[in-house]
Structure formats: C-alpha cells, structure tokens
A = this chain, B = another copy of it.
Amino acid sequence: MSQSHSSFSHLDPSGAARMVDVGTKPEQRRTASASCHVRCLPTTIEALRHAALPKGDVLTVAKIAAIQAAKRTDELIPLCHSLPLDSVQVDFLIEEDAIQIHTTAATTAKTGVEMEALTAASIAALTIYDMCKAVDKTMVIDGLRVTKKTKA
C-alpha cells in the first residue's frame, strides 16, 4: 500500500497532496499533444459555416483562449509547476456533427506539459461551447485526453 502511495507523485507517503520537487531534473525539450471534441447538432455546424466559419472568428477566439489558458495552467491546476512555454499550437477539424480540437504544447523545462496541452484543449472547447450555446442545447465535450508525449 505504501507502494501505491508512492505511485501518485502528487501524494506524500501519508496520502497528503504535495508539489513534486523538480530541482534535480534536467531541462529538456518536451512536448505533449491533447485532443477532444465538441459534439453538436449538424444544424449547428451548418449555421457556423454560414455565419462564422468563413470569417473564422469562432475558431480564432477559441484558439486565443486556448493559448492564453495554456500559459496560465499553473494558476489553474494547483500542483502544476510554472513552465515557460516554447509554443502552443491549436488546430480544429470540422466534422458533420462535431468540432475536433487538437493541441500541442512545447517547453524546454524540467517537467512535462501534458496539463498545458489538456488545459488548452479544454478551454478551446469551452469557448466554442460558449459561442454556440444560444443555438444548440445538446452540446457535449468528449474525449479529452493526451495523445502524444515527446522528450528530447
């Protein structure tokens, strides 16, 4: 059981929350990718294509929100370290009844950036939700997960 304790890096042997000390870890280029999708009505996608997608504002607003949130991940997720992000990339894929969101965060730091990529994807999805909620009450955000990690 003390084994399972030590498996959770954010818990000390007594089971209490802690911030891991990354002081002795080397600075390395690290990237993480995440994705999720906003499921919605086909008519919402259609309306978006007419009203907003040509100009792109909905997706641009979502992208900016995602980048801004990624830079503040340490303020949102309590035990995350503050990391200087080299870049945050946010891409969208419009499907018939969903908008896919793909994010990649990169840093040169002592610890990984999964949480930054996940936070970016999550806030992009919520921003799309916010901009479409007046026309579609059925939206659900699904499948938020890490899709790739690299360390070089």
Taking Cβ atoms with an 8 Å cutoff, the residues of A that contact B are 1, 4-5, 7-11, 14-23, 29, 36, 47-48, 50-52, 54-58, 60-61, 63-65, 67-69, 71-72, 74-89, 106, 108-110, 114-115, 118-119, 122-123, 125-127, 129-135, 137, 139-146
Contacts A21-B86, A78-B64: A50 and B7 contacting too (C-beta < 8 A)? no
Query: Out of B10, B54, B118, B137, which one reaches A131, CB within 8 Å?
Result: B10
B-side contacts of A135, CB under 8 Å: 4, 7-8
Provide the bound-state CA to CA distance between A115 and B88, in Å.
19
Do A89 and B130 touch (CB < 8 A)? no
Contacts A57-B17, A71-B74: A10 and B119 contacting too (C-beta < 8 A)? no
Do B106 and A57 touch (CB < 8 A)? no
Query: Out of B10, B84, B131, which one reaches A81, CB within 8 Å?
Result: B84
Do B8 and A134 touch (CB < 8 A)? yes
Do A126 and B77 touch (CB < 8 A)? yes
Do B106 and A21 touch (CB < 8 A)? yes
B-side contacts of A47, CB under 8 Å: 4, 7-8
Provide the bound-state CA to CA distance between A57 and B13, in Å.
12
